[in-house]
Amino acid sequence: MKETDNKLTMRNIKPTAMRELVLKVLSEQDKAISLADLEQKFDNADKTTLYRTLKTFEENKLIHSIDDGTGAVKYALCKETCQCHPEDLHVHFLCTKCQQTYCLTDISIPSIALPVNFKLETINMVVKGICSNCDK
């Protein structure tokens, strides 16, 4: 069994050729990737198929989406143990120079004390600045 097949089946996702290819591309990234960026990695892939693949991955907690304020949702792989609960969430870093978004998985989002009868479902924390590549 291929590693991509294993990652897919662990998340109850039926392996298909396109899903395996998308997962391979996502696994090779060191930063979050937008749908447009993903499209450029494939010569003849249908945008709808890529979008549906990303949504399937997100629904099954293989990837998470990031709204970094650039207007393009970006996607990154989740850790194997991630269930995308608030306690699994981490900080994201948007470089204001190159517009790349990085997952800072070692930095957890601080807990938020909400008023009574408010229920936390998700948190999106984006820190903006200059990444180490652009700071050289």
Taken in order of first residue, the domains within the chain and their CATH numbers are: 3-129 (1.10.10.10)
Please give the Cα distance from 53 to 42 (Å, whole number). 14
**The pTM is what?**
0.81
* Phi, psi for residue 15 in degrees, rounded to 5: -70, 130
Q: Mind listing the pLDDT tens digit for each residue in 66-123?
A: 999 999 999 999 877 776 666 667 899 999 999 999 999 888 888 888 999 998 888 8
Instruction: Determine the pLDDT at residue 25.
Output: 95
Whether residue 1 has pLDDT greater than 60: no
Q: Is the dihedral of CA 80, 83, 84, 85 positive or negative?
A: negative
Question: Which pair of tokens denotes residue 53?
Answer: 């693949």
